[in-house]
Amino acid sequence: MPGASAAQQYGDQARLRRDADAITALGVTGVQARLVTSDGRNLTATSGVADLTTRRQVSSNGYFRIASVTKAFVATVILQLAGDGRLSLDDTVERWLPGVVSGNGNDGRAITIRQLLQHTSGIHDDYPDYTSAEDFYQHRYDTYTPEQIVARAMRHRPDFRPGTDWRYSNTGYVLLGMVIQRVTGHPWHEEVRDRIVRPLGLKHTFWPGTSPTLPRPHASSYQRFKPGEPLVDVTEQVGPFAGGEAGLVSTTADLNRFFGALLGGRLLPPAQLAQMKQTIPVSKEFEPLMPGARDGLGLFSRPLSCGGVYWGHEGGDSGWISAAGVTADGRRSVTVSMSGTIADSTDDVLRITRAESKLVDDALCSTPNADGKTD
């Protein structure tokens, strides 16, 4: 019914705008969100400002660093290679990267590719991070090779025996990028480009390499390194991710298209998509950030308030937080990007992540009633 469709669109748009405003009310500088409905409509909402000095408006299709959302792209390439028979998820890390994971109790012979994908390898994370404004200004153009990042982790004993627990590991996905290069002869980001970005027409998704700037339009991002200190504009940086796994830049429209295609079965054979969706619980320490989350292979599932689950990933780095979610059939998707996420305490972080989760849940749960109203 045309009336029902118009009413639903109005309700979806109003809800998206309301939830974006709720996030900026918590102190986030700027928010952009985009919902793709089951019938292919794009609805957008923005809130806050893109720059604290000029007070310019947030773009509804601005570029942003997607940080760990990149893990879903890396995992997709690994599963494509498994589907092609070029590797097995049960291959050991040692099989492809001999001698790389060793020392201090670390043993690549005991860790599988599946465990890297699902954060059950036990490899300790020692990822470079900025500790102060001075540290940021001194090191924001530094880069690290994947080998250097892995070597940092190897200075530590494992957090647990492989396969016996769960702990989020950026280093595990750096290793997966190295596996992709060993198997294909090409860097992970080139395989992502050729296997995902170009086939799907993701014209605004790319790996920036060592460039510290973002294309226009983009919002500025801010960080306060300690409570009470001034805000620091952290928009311009290379960061340690240039040589690691979490390096893609994208837009809300492109991420919605990617996750819709992934869950819609257009990127993986059914067997590999089914493996990607085999989940385990996350740790008790991680669960407050993503209540009800279960971890698959490069994807998290989260319960929906209207029943069932959605799939997606989140990412955060230097004042940026992004989250993408898609219904199980891939037909309805939403992506939100927050810039200038200023959190001075754990409670601040929890409030912001809850508001972000509410936006995703509201966007994916909206369905028309018989009278044309929306839930």
**CA distances for 328 relative to 73, 132, 302, 334, 336, angstroms:** 18, 41, 11, 13, 18
Cα angle vertex 18, ends 17, 23, to 5°? 95
- Please tell me the total number of residues recorded for the chain in this structure: 375
The residue whose two tokens read 């660093």 is 65
If you ran DSSP here, which 8-state letter would residue 43 be given?
A: E
Selected catalytic residue, list 47, 59, 68, 333: 68
- Number of Cβ within 10 Å of residue 182's Cβ equals 14
Cis peptide before 217 (omega within 30 of 0): yes
Is 262 in contact with 297 (CB distance < 8 Å)?
Answer: no
Nearest to 297 by CA among 82, 143, 72: 72
Based on the residue annotation, tell me whether 68 is a catalytic residue of this protein: yes
Is 42 in contact with 198 (CB distance < 8 Å)?
Answer: no
The residue whose two tokens read 């008790």 is 284
Catalytic residues: 68
